[in-house]
Structure 1
């Protein structure tokens, strides 16, 4: 039996067709996170579920682009500062990979929307750690359960997800 939140997220963002994922994999289903992130009441509910998963930390790091609205709402709910992590540093302006406050010596939790293989998170974790951030935990809205948890664990990152693919599809099996 799906939770009420899982049902609402599934109804809002589950698409079928043929989709190429960031990982390069092709899938016949897609969880379009922008369809729930664009709905204020649902975005807040997902962010509240993610806040419940936070370890002790000093900074939330919203991953470009889908992690940014989640991290922003989580920051509002917790009072924790937020940085916004780019896929690549800009070659102009501040040329930073993480925009916002400092991360050096701080316990930083990465905030992501959907995790498939964890590739984007792994690519961003190195630069954050080289800036002095203590990064051990990722909190995401949806874990697609396609190897991300294991790939992140291999790099010393613990994944905590508000929802999993299994949660979202629970009623389909019934």
Structure 2
């Protein structure tokens, strides 16, 4: 899913930008409902020009080298994927769209904004993937609007909770990820102490049990397509 070179570089950028945050007594509950001792806040990289330029360069290289065919448009997932899709569209000189999880309910009531995707090969851009549950809504919106969607690019893939690979197969989506927790733990970095590393390794050994014991989800939700 991610290459060793991009994984190492992206993990370094996350740690240098303070995006890898360890919980104290109260665990984080991720958007998918899983409890975790750590949170990756990719939005912290948005505000620093040197960091965001480096991330965009890594993502652009992944798009150029790791897709079977170049995309004809980029679609940012609302909301975390939109800024990255915008910078990548500028870098790659591609049309930009964005997709909501559901239609707005007012105005045009559109799920896809920015123009037509009819008949275009579209790459979905998002900042994070936990277990892939949010990707179903984005894929549905793009395909309903006529897009050809086979791949999604995420800056960070948790790569821990069950169901992600199964969801991607059911959605007929291939994931291209720049980094995962494995890449973060592979680094020796001052931002990741020995104690923090031990907490993360314990969590990754059995993330479902860890989540259940700390007030999070206890199993995989059914796929809604």
Q: Report the TM-score when normalising by structure 2.
A: 0.72
Shift of 1:112: 0.6
Partner of 2:123 in structure 1?
109
Shift of 1:4: 4.3
Does the aligned pair in 1 maintain the 2:78–2:101 contact within 8 Å? yes
Q: Which has the higher strand share?
A: 1
Alignment of 1:124-143 (within 5 A): 124-143=138-157
Does the aligned pair in 2 maintain the 1:114–1:143 contact within 8 Å? yes
Q: Tell me the secondary structure at the aligned position of residue 73 of structure 1.
A: helix
Distance 1:150 1:49 in 2: 26
- Whichever of the two has the greater Rg, that structure is 2
Deviates more, 1:122-131 or 1:56-65: 122-131
**Structure 1: which 5+ residue stretches go unaligned?**
none
Does the aligned pair in 2 maintain the 1:149–1:158 contact within 8 Å? no
Distance 1:116 1:4 in 2: 20
Q: Report the TM-score when normalising by structure 1.
A: 0.92
Shift of 1:162: 1.3
Q: Tell me the secondary structure at the aligned position of residue 3 of structure 1.
A: helix
Does the aligned pair in 2 maintain the 1:60–1:109 contact within 8 Å? yes
Give aligned pairs, total: 173
**How large is the RMSD of aligned CA atoms in angstroms?**
1.8
Higher relative contact order (CA 8 A, sep 6+): 2
Partner of 1:159 in structure 2?
175
